[in-house]
Amino acid sequence: MRDLFEAEQGLALPIVPGAVLLRGFAGDQAPRLRAALDGVLAASPWRHMITPGGFRMSVAMTNCGPLGWVSDRTGYRYDAIDPVAGKSWPAMPQAFRELASEAANAAGFAGFEPDACLVNRYEPGARLSLHQDRDERDYGHPIVSVSLGLPAVLLFGGLQRKDKSMRLPLVHGDVVVWGGPARLNHHGILPLKDGEHPSTGRCRINLTFRKAG
Ligand code: MD3
Ligand code: FE
């Protein structure tokens, strides 16, 4: 089914070597993903983490799967325990795992089995400043990112922070797979513009799948 994606719709767009945008790939799965997310949130609710520098992140986050990304005054890390709930993160819903592996496969990364799903919620004005994803053990695995709800602008640059960055609008249902030479590119999200979306209401939700451990 999904292997026909590119042939049928021609919407697998190369961004830079190693990065592929699957425009609308998750669109038909959105209601299922949204429902599964409610189960995750019942166990591990949204929270605004604190950066090592002491700032409260404008993006609200939670996680599911064996490992979750956490930030506090001591640093960034992956942890098996949700510090808010005081227990393991909720299991990764089957709908999440299947979508992540199908998207990776469609982008040329067969056999992707994520052990961490970071869920980011952007309300109007929330942003994520330019950074690299470097907290994972092995950069050989791709990262799969799923956008739901309000549109956002992804800023992505190169391996050096000073490298020129490009802007890529991401809309509901878009999936981006980052691997190979793009895996350590700098990236960020510009402040979210206000709006209302039938799937999420007044926010954007991003699911980021990783093999972290
Ligand atoms: C480019 N999240 O959680 S996903 C993050 O939309 C994060 O919530 C953003 O960056 C979000 O760390 C962006 C797009 C993305 C993810 C991983 C990348 C872009 C990437 C890794 C390398 C290069
Ligand atoms: Fe990132």
CATH classification of the domain holding 171? 2.60.120.590
128 lines ligand 1 (CB under 6 A): yes
Question: What pTM was computed for the model?
Answer: 0.95
Domain that holds residue 43: 12-210
Asked if the structure places residue 80 within a domain, the reply is yes
The DSSP bridge partners found for residue 20 are 14, 177
Chain segment 43-93, per-residue pLDDT in tens: 999 999 999 999 999 999 999 999 999 999 999 999 999 999 999 999 999
Tell me, in angstroms, the distance from the centre of ligand 2 to residue 188's CA: 7
- pLDDT range class, residue 7, cuts 50, 70, 90: very low
Chain segment 16-28, per-residue pLDDT in tens:
999 999 999 999 9
Residue 170 lies in a domain: yes
Question: In the prediction, which pLDDT does 2 show?
Answer: 53
Which CA distances in Å does 155 have to 131, 152, 158, 190? 10, 10, 10, 7
Domain count for the chain: 1
Is 3 a domain residue?
A: no
* Mean pLDDT for the chain overall: 95
Secondary element (H or E) of residue 34? helix 30-43
Q: Over range 154-166, report the average pLDDT.
A: 95
What spacing in Å lies between the alpha carbon of 133 and ligand 2's midpoint? 5
Whether residue 205 lies inside any domain: the answer is: yes
**Does an H or E element contain 99, and which?**
helix 94-106
Residue from 80, 79, 84, 81 nearest 49 by CA: 84
In-domain check, residue 169: yes
Residue 117 pairs with which residues in a beta bridge?
A: 64, 209
The answer to whether residue 5 is domain-embedded is no
Atom of ligand 1 nearest to the CA of 152: 6
Q: How confident is the model at residue 8 (pLDDT cuts 50, 70, 90)?
A: very low
User: 136: CA distance to ligand 1 center in Å?
Assistant: 13
Which residue bears the tokens 């640093």? Answer: 75
2 part of a folded domain:
no
